[in-house]
């Protein structure tokens, strides 16, 4: 669904990612690790067309990311659920409205019951009318995950989705992602949390990609 | 539902995704109201001066008179001479010697009904109708002086000619003012919309991240500013019309100043102003939004 061929990317400060090739196939589960500042978030941004590769080719749903028009990018984002590291919400809307935002902007609607189920699943039913600034970091993260999956996307990209939640909640979020993966969705989770990766390995066939020295390598079983 | 109606009816959810922008909203309302108010006056000026130019213009097309004062014995000869001259003057459609009855009617207000016209040395009057192109008054005067020394050409309506030109120019200026006001409105609304877009950069980023198309984001802004410009302009227009309506009325014959109002169906014209303001706001915001969104990808 998403394919990198010898992709390089760097901000003004020099190359960050070099010669990266990878493939997120339907039903695959990837972890992405690496030291802070290695380029995990950058790689995810390349996956959803926020950044465009400087060299090489990124294909998103079999289309070269470079050739996508602005509307194409918008359409493509409805098929890719993203949990951002700095979960961005519309602060003037309630949590429930924020979770439903992808539906709203694509002119679709959902039933109150479905939205309620989703919000309950991430454990936020008592906060559904709260504004995002009133939520804790973990609550925002769970809301971001709910928003990422409400469109039932083909691909889910999660950037540190368990960064601010306790271990129990981490496992719960992981379980949700594993479930989504079993439904055939391609998942990529960027995380520092090796315990989370270990926990996942018992539940799902996950591949671990590590960024080091600007390259992306498949990590062995040495976790 | 037509796209326009759908646009105006809007989508409550879609409207909520952009937070209310109190300050620029009030600015837009005020600016639209003020501009509409001014437009009412520019329009009143245009219509009034247009009316004036027309009235004066048609007065021009009316007759001039030639007055012949001559000793009793020469009168007939001079009248004939003048008629000859008129016949061969280009630009004269018709010339006619007023009958005694007509002259008596003209003089009656001053001298009463029993005026013995035959015994009094009353000048004869010839009514001259000109063609639309008009005649050369100076040339005619010169020829009359040669052929009939007692004849005086009184083209009393000609002094209005420069006034008609001035009125026409004023009407043009009124129309130009309306265009300038519309352009200024467009500029102000563009600036207000651009400020709102800049203030909402974060909102726009989030919307794009969750898959909102430019058109969707733009619509949320465009709708807002279009409706605001419309309501602002409605208020401004209403106030402007009231102010015009309350203008003191001096004499109905209409000197320039008192003619500055709307007459009859002309009262319908200002009702177009809010619609026009909405159209201008729509175009301005639409353009501003799409350009800003494209620049900031
Ligand atoms: N917009 C930007 N402009 C310039 N440099 C940037 C930009 N975004 C990120 N960087 C730099 O690129 C590098 C990689 O950033 P990135 O966010 O991809 O790291 P990361 O692996 O996600 O780190 P973390 O684990 O802390 O989230 C960092 O050194 C960062 O400072
Ligand atoms: Mg990061």
Place of tokens 């796209």: B3
Would you say the CB of residue A85 lies under 6 angstroms from ligand 1? yes
Name all domains of chain A by residue range, CATH numbers in brackets. 1-79+153-223 (3.40.50.300), 84-152 (no CATH)
Which residue among B16, B206, B297 sits closest to A89, beta carbon to beta carbon?
A: B206
Closest listed ligand to the CA of A12: 1
Task: Looking at the complex, report in whole angstroms how far the Cα of residue A204 sits from the nearest Cα belonging to chain B.
Answer: 28
B158 touches chain A (CB under 8 A): no
The domain limits of chain B are: 3-57+168-295, 70-149
B18-59 pLDDT per residue, tens = 888 777 788 889 999 999 999 998 998 888 888 877 777 766
Q: Please spell the DSSP secondary structure of chain A, one letter per residue.
A: -EEEEEEEEEETTEEEEEEEEEEE-TT-EEEEE-STTSSHHHHHHHHTTSS--SEEEEEETTEEGGG--HHHHHHHHTSEEEE-TT----TTS-HHHHHTHHHHHTT----HHHHHHHHHHTT-GGGTTS-GGGS-HHHHHHHHHHHHHTT--SEEEEESTTTTS-HHHHHHHHHHHHHHHHTT-EEEEE-S-HHHHHHHHTTS-EEEEEEETTEEEE--S--
The strand pairing partners of A83, in sequence order, are A158
B127 SS3 class: strand
Per-residue pLDDT of chain A (223 residues; tens, 9 = 90+): 899 999 999 898 788 998 999 999 999 999 999 998 899 999 999 999 889 999 999 999 999 989 998 899 999 999 999 998 887 899 999 999 999 999 999 888 778 888 999 999 888 999 989 999 999 888 888 899 899 989 889 999 999 888 878 888 888 889 888 988 999 999 999 998 888 999 988 888 889 999 988 888 888 655 5
pTM greater than 0.80 (yes/no): no
- Which pLDDT score is estimated for B96? 86
CA distance B290 to B297: 11
Nearest CA to ligand 1 atom 6: A11
pLDDT of B287 > 50? The answer is: yes
Please, which pLDDT band fits residue B157 given cuts at 50, 70 and 90?
A: low
- Which pLDDT score is estimated for B1? 45
- Which pLDDT score is estimated for B251? 56
- Which pLDDT score is estimated for A163? 81
Interface of B with A in 202-221 (CB under 8 A): 202-203, 205-216
Which tokens is B223 given? 């709708």
pLDDT of B255 > 70? The answer is: no
- Under an 8 A CB cutoff, do A90 and B205 touch? no
- Which pLDDT score is estimated for B34? 94
B25-34 pLDDT per residue, tens = 888 899 999 9
Would you say the CB of residue A36 lies under 6 angstroms from ligand 1? yes
- Under an 8 A CB cutoff, do A105 and B297 touch? no
Interface of B with A in 11-50 (CB under 8 A): 13-14, 16-17, 19-20
A199 touches chain B (CB under 8 A): no
A132 touches chain B (CB under 8 A): no
């Amino acid at each position: 669904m998403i394919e990198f061929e010898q992709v390089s990317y760097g901000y003004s400060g020099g190359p960050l990612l070099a010669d990266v090739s990878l493939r997120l196939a339907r039903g695959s589960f990837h972890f992405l690790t690496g030291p802070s500042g290695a380029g995990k978030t950058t790689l995810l941004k390349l996956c959803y067309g926020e950044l465009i590769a400087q060299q090489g080719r990124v294909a998103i749903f079999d289309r070269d990311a470079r050739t996508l028009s602005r509307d194409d990018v918008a359409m493509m984002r409805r098929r890719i659920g993203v949990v951002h590291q700095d979960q961005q919400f519309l602060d003037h809307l309630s949590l429930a409205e924020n979770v439903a935002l992808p539906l709203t902007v694509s002119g679709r609607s959902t039933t109150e019951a479905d939205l309620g189920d989703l919000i309950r699943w991430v454990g936020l039913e008592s906060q559904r009318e709260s504004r995002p600034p009133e939520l804790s970091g973990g609550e925002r993260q769970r809301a971001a995950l709910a928003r990422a999956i409400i469109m039932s996307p083909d691909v889910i990209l999660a950037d540190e989705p368990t960064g601010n939640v306790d271990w129990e909640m981490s496992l719960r979020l992981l379980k949700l992602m594993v479930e989504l993966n079993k439904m055939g969705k391609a998942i990529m989770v960027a995380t520092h949390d090796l315990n989370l990766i270990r926990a996942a390995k018992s539940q799902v066939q996950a591949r671990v990609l590590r960024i080091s020295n600007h390259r992306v390598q498949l990590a062995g079983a040495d976790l | 539902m037509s796209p326009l109606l759908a646009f105006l009816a809007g989508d409550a959810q879609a409207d909520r995704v952009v937070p209310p922008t109190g300050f620029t909203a009030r600015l837009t309302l005020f600016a639209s109201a003020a501009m509409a108010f001014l437009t009412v006056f520019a329009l009143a000026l245009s219509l009034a001066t247009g009316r004036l130019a027309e009235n004066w213009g048609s007065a021009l097309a009316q007759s001039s008179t030639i007055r012949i004062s001559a000793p009793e014995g020469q009168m007939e000869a001079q009248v004939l001479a003048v008629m000859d001259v008129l016949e061969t003057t280009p630009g004269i459609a018709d010339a006619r010697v007023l009958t005694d009855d007509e002259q008596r009617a003209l003089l009656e207000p001053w001298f009463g009904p029993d005026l013995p016209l035959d015994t009094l040395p009353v000048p004869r009057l010839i009514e001259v109708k000109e063609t639309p192109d008009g005649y050369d008054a100076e040339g005619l005067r010169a020829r009359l002086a040669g052929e009939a020394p007692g004849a005086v050409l009184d083209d009393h309506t000609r002094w209005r000619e420069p006034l008609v030109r001035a009125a026409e120019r004023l009407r043009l200026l009124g129309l130009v003012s309306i265009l300038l006001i519309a352009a200024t409105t467009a500029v102000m609304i563009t600036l207000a919309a651009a400020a709102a877009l800049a203030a909402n950069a974060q909102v726009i980023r989030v919307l794009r991240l969750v898959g909102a198309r430019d058109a969707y984001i733009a619509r949320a802004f465009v709708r807002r500013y279009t409706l605001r410009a419309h309501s602002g302009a409605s208020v401004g227009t209403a106030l402007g019309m009231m102010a015009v309506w309350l203008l003191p009325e001096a004499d109905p014959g209409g000197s320039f100043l008192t003619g500055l109002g709307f007459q009859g169906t002309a009262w319908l014209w200002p009702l177009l102003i809010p619609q026009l303001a909405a159209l201008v706001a729509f175009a301005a915001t639409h353009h501003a939004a799409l350009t800003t969104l494209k620049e900031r990808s």
